[in-house]
Structure 1
Amino acid sequence: MTTPHWLFGDHLGPHFLTPGKDGPARDAPVVLVEARSVFRRRRFHRAKAHLLLSAMRHRAAELGDRAVHVRAETYREGLREAVGDGTVTVHHPTSHAALRLVRSLPRVRVLPARGFLLPHATFRAWADGRGGGRLRQEDFYRWIRHELDLLMDGDAPAGGRLNHDHANREPPPKGARTLDAPAPYRPREDAIDEEVREDLDRWEREEGIRFVGRDGPRRFPASRREALAALRRFVRHRLAGFGPHEDAMLAADPVMSHSLLSSSLNLGLLHPAECVAAAEDAWRAGRAPVASVEGFVRQVAGWREYVWQLYWYVGDAYRHRNALGHHAPLPAWFRELDADGVTARCLATVLAQVRDTGWTHHIPRLMVLGGFALQRGWDPLAVTDWFHRSFVDGYDWVMLPNVVGMSQYADGGRTTTKPYTSGGAYIHRMSDLCGGCAYRPTDRTGRRACPYTTGYWTFAHRHRELLAGNQRTARVVRGLDRLGDLDEVLRTDRRWEQGPP
């Protein structure tokens, strides 16, 4: 009898069923288990739960009679119902907890990971070759471009340089409310989505399972067909304009020219290699400038791959790193995505985007949400969990290196050269979010003091010694020493301990 193959909810693309020596048997029965215990353990965003269940059910429908689709309380119960005492294969899961689970189960054979560009051993050899110390994303990115011949002309990088970030940091066009980019792909809900929404309603009503955020019309692909359509639309109509403003923010245009492909990649509906290849083909055909294509390649083959590999290289203990000694709890207004209770326009706008859609692009995540958490000294483990639960593309492997390492500097600089936080001036320069705000980005004391500006100087004061010893942040400490009103800045900043800014 052919050994069944188990698909987790983020193993949904065809590459997880390709047969071979490291893959499932050809035409093997496919097991999909929906475990309600996942949603009992954590309070996920409702749109995230909807997307995951919709994607699993769409995949089961595509597989037809080949699928054994079980809805159970736990994975153990579901697997027992699906295969009894039989053996199953499964590709390497995407979290330490899931890997511990499958290794604890009898008669489960774990196959190598799929859905990424490199085997774990290849990354480990690269990292070990650097002494296992500081592991910079930029170093990895330059190496993988050569290693996999990505966006290269022979031994030379396309366009003459490996990194075009200098061309991809423009603020939004002056006076523009939107970037005026072609609209992204939007899926249409179907009967499966209707069933999912009814089930989630029933879980909340009858089973005490609670969610956060809103579940509006599904915005992200839940099938391979939809994901390919989203990729095609991005490459043909949006990639060319992606690069210059990828770090900019506009209140009325949260999507701008971003690809919106992260959830499809992280569900396994798309493979990173096909995304990178499609972007490179667009450049070679003259349909997109090299800076925009390189920026997208850097996000997928550089940052995403680096985060995945780093997650496994540094191990599960990495989640408990807290080099800055931050232990403050997340306030209720942040946990509940209570954007309406926030006065600061940038934070209220971004928090509303997360509440309503479960998504916002990388700069609001890093500089608005993560920056505020870093300034307030919130516990990095709690911040990581919040990002994991609140974003449709959030998974443990995604958020652990991104939040602990980059956003909260909790690893003490192993993966980044400095803490990423700023005063209101950066947000003012890179967005229109300061217009109409009750606070002024230039004010650090008084009634209209910007919480990001006061928070920036408070953070610098709290970690003066650490910042003074880093050549990239020593200037901040020198600026701190020139503040004649530091005591008043610190007193002003403490007002945010009483409630949302």
Structure 2
Amino acid sequence: MPTPEPATTAATTSARPDTVRWLFADQLGPSFLDHPEQRVLLVESRKVFARRRFHRQKAHLVLSAMRHRAAELGERCTYVRADRYADAVRDFGEPLTVCHPTSRSALRLVGRLPGVEVLPARGYATSMEQFDTWVRSRGQRRLLLEDFYRESRRRFDILLDGDEPVGGRWNYDADNREPAPRSGELDVPAPWWPTEDAIDEEVRADLDRWEADGDVSFVGVDGPRRFAATRDEARQALAHFVEHRLDRFGPTEDAVLADDPWMSHSLLSAPLNLGLLEPLEMAHAAEEAYRSGDARLPSVEGFVRQVIGWRDYVWHLYWQQDADYRDRNALRATTSLPEWFAELDGDAVQARCLSTVLGNLRNHGWVHHIPRLMILGNYAMQHGWQPAEVTDWFHRSFVDGYDWVMVPNVVGMSQHADGGVMATKPYAAGGAYIDRMTDFCKGCRYDPKVRVGEKACPYTAGYWAFLHRHKDSFARNHRMAQAVRGLDRLKDLEPLLEQEAHRGSEAP
């Protein structure tokens, strides 16, 4: 069912309503304009793709979204192709307004340019002022996601019966942890897919030419565009998910199937992070499905928690932490990413879980949150890979990856490099977790129960080597102390440590 155009929660007026709005590539939705006839500046820079090796399908999606937006705006849009944003802005020669950029580097850029007024951020449910008020209300207490999420639910009156949560519980996470179906299949309709058009053909031809000219180089492979690139496409994708897939989303949201990279996930993070959807419209659409009896409460609550809880929480922590947060390295991890991982070479890997996930990322530019955290991030943390390199790799390799997304999620959540700001314990796990939540271990040459030898699972062995390497600091963590004590029961610890030392950066 179509949803009405959303109103942004941030300020929607500028000092001069006739001022041209400069839109970055992740600010493409209608809420980033003050009125329907506002003039727009869009700047496309090939140098952005020349400086860093992004996933080919991410480059395609971003350029397709920008060019589609320019086509929609018609004569109201000045579309500039330039090497540098600063040159394009100076050559434009008119005063500009821009919504608060989503990265520190972009904010520094606009701050250096004369004649550019920075407006409050848009595209998030909670404004920076509202988050600051919440932080002050916490005093010296930890900034816990669950507390922020509950406050947001109350403020927006979402999934409430009066002042209480519907169903009597705020959080149904415990109901959403079913393992992968033993059948290897999930009985859920296929995702909604967009139809490419002439703009996509033009983008693909340009990317091919840039590569042939040696101007840019990508990771991953080309493929059909899988994610919405326009507001209309994004609304179709949201409506399809809510009607056909939301009900089944919750129970298996943490499960992984080797032959189903999409499961029941919404695939809406990419258009959401392009600014084509608003988190509140997504939350209201999900709530309506629950109220009308079309989707179960645990699924709806889990989805709402992601879009107005976790996503906003990550966004605000990115700005609330100091600029050097991105360089934190509490576990003193110094190893560079091996080439097979950096190049998404799943074919070089024998461990079925890691091989499949890297292959899916190479082929689609996307895998869902459990492969990101417990397959890719878990392996990187176990093997002491430099967290800034891991963060940059996630940013470049995922179609929905942006600086504000990946710095807290990788530095804090995935690599525990912030020493506990985001999570009180590292998200480290051995093969037993992967065996329980996925079907990868079936048919793998490695055994999740084996630590040493030819059949030793690299995640099981890596987990114990990781615990041993940090046993002194983890012993002081009440959530890790019991796991560290388990080292004393391992009769094969010495050969395990020798085995892992020899593994080095070789593909498992």
Q: TM-score range by the shorter chain?
A: over 0.9
For residue 308 of structure 2, the aligned residue among 301, 310, 316 is 301
Q: CA deviation at 1:387?
A: 0.3
Give the AA of the match of 1:172.
Answer: A
For residue 358 of structure 1, the aligned residue among 357, 365, 389 is 365
Q: Does 2:116 match 1:100? A: no
CA-to-aligned-CA distance 1:410-457 (integer Å, 9 cap, x gap)? 111112110001000000000001111111000000111000001100
Q: Does 2:25 match 1:18? A: no
| Gap regions ≥5 residues in structure 2 | 1-15
Provide the C-alpha distance between the structure 1 equivalents of 2:264 and 2:418, rounded to a whole number of angstroms: 32
Give the AA of the match of 1:15.
Answer: S
For residue 496 of structure 1, the aligned residue among 487, 503, 507 is 503
CA-to-aligned-CA distance 1:246-288 (integer Å, 9 cap, x gap)? 0000000111100000001000000001000000000000000
For residue 142 of structure 2, the aligned residue among 127, 130, 134 is 134
Contact 1:467/1:474 (8 A) holds in 2? yes
Q: CA deviation at 1:495?
A: 3.5
Residue correspondence of structure 1 range 255-334 to structure 2 within 5 A? 255-334=262-341
Residue correspondence of structure 1 range 141-220 to structure 2 within 5 A? 141-174=149-182, 176-220=183-227
CA-based RMSD: 1.2
Provide the C-alpha distance between the structure 1 equivalents of 2:323 and 2:136, rounded to a whole number of angstroms: 18
Provide the C-alpha distance between the structure 2 equivalents of 1:201 and 1:385, rounded to a whole number of angstroms: 24
Residue correspondence of structure 1 range 459-478 to structure 2 within 5 A? 459-478=466-485
Residue correspondence of structure 1 range 43-122 to structure 2 within 5 A? 43-81=53-91, 83-84=92-93, 86-122=94-130
Provide the C-alpha distance between the structure 2 equivalents of 1:166 and 1:8, rounded to a whole number of angstroms: 39
Q: CA deviation at 1:137?
A: 1.6
Contact 1:276/1:301 (8 A) holds in 2? yes
Provide the C-alpha distance between the structure 1 equivalents of 2:378 and 2:492, rounded to a whole number of angstroms: 23
For residue 486 of structure 2, the aligned residue among 457, 467, 479 is 479
Give the AA of the match of 2:300.
Answer: V
Q: Does 2:465 match 1:458? A: yes
Residue correspondence of structure 1 range 331-350 to structure 2 within 5 A? 331-350=338-357
Task: Return the TM-score normalized by structure 2.
Answer: 0.95
Give the AA of the match of 2:19.
Answer: T
Give the AA of the match of 2:207.
Answer: L
Q: CA deviation at 1:94?
A: 0.3
Q: CA deviation at 1:498?
A: 4.7
Provide the C-alpha distance between the structure 2 equivalents of 1:187 and 1:496, rounded to a whole number of angstroms: 43
The equivalent of 1:7 in structure 2 is 23
> Residue 122 of structure 2 aligns to a residue in which SS?
coil
Q: CA deviation at 1:133?
A: 6.2
Provide the C-alpha distance between the structure 2 equivalents of 1:172 and 1:265, rounded to a whole number of angstroms: 27
Contact 1:115/1:268 (8 A) holds in 2? yes
Task: Return the TM-score normalized by structure 1.
Answer: 0.96
| Gap regions ≥5 residues in structure 1 | 20-25
The equivalent of 1:38 in structure 2 is 48
Q: Does 2:400 match 1:393? A: yes
Q: Does 2:426 match 1:416? A: no
For residue 244 of structure 2, the aligned residue among 222, 232, 237 is 237
Provide the C-alpha distance between the structure 2 equivalents of 1:478 and 1:143, rounded to a whole number of angstroms: 38
Provide the C-alpha distance between the structure 2 equivalents of 1:99 and 1:437, rounded to a whole number of angstroms: 47
Contact 1:117/1:273 (8 A) holds in 2? yes
Q: CA deviation at 1:395?
A: 0.1
Contact 2:381/2:415 (8 A) holds in 1? yes
